């Protein structure tokens, strides 16, 4: 359920961390019936997709985050399509503003020991994700 709801509320102009994720979790909670345990898990899974949340997590949370990030390791053409869609989401930003923000995020990913948390996603996507990200960093840095 977290994967279905994690980006259901998304405002690319939101300036505060976790605004979109919190709103997505609240909508999921409003539309679905969860017990307390499942509600806490849903909240943590969704908040962790922000990549800045540091609350409790478990193996399921890692899997949710890895599925969310898997596109980074897809083929070059799929990654390029994804990146073009991200740019369209941020059409309000100038090219320079977009490049600066995107480069900050991408360089943060590259600085990590591993982009993916689970062995499955590390083995399947880590190398290609790093290649795609490095290629995009080079393009945005021109």
Percent of the chain with pLDDT over 70: 82
Is residue 62 in a domain? no
Domain around 125: 68-141
Residues 133 and 77 grouped into a single domain: yes
- How far is Cα of residue 37 from the mean position of the Cα atoms in its chain? 24
- Tell me the per-residue pLDDT of 122-141, one tens digit each, with 9 for 90 and over: 999 999 999 999 999 999 99
Which is higher by pLDDT, 82 or 15?
82
Same domain assignment for residues 82 and 18: no
Q: Quick check: 3 and 24 in contact, CB under 8 A?
A: no
Question: 92: Cβ–Cβ under 8 A, 6 or more apart, which residues?
Answer: 12, 13
Domain count, the chain: 2
Pairwise pLDDT comparison (10 vs 107), residue with the higher score: 107
103 domain residue, yes or no = yes
Does 101 lie in the same domain as 75?
Answer: yes
């Amino acid at each position: 359920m977290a994967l279905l709801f994690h980006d259901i509320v998304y405002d690319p102009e939101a300036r505060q961390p976790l605004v979109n994720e919190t709103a997505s979790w609240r909508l999921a909670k409003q539309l679905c019936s969860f017990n307390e345990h499942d509600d806490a898990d849903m909240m943590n899974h969704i908040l962790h997709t922000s990549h800045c949340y540091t609350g409790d997590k478990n193996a399921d949370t890692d899997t949710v985050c890895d599925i969310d990030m898997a596109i980074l390791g897809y083929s070059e053409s799929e990654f390029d399509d994804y990146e073009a869609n991200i740019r369209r989401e941020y059409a309000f930003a100038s090219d320079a503003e977009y490049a600066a923000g995107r480069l900050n995020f991408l360089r943060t990913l590259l600085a990590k020991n591993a982009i993916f948390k689970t062995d499955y996603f590390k083995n399947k996507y880590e190398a290609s994700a790093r290649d795609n990200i490095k290629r995009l960093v080079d393009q945005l840095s021109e």
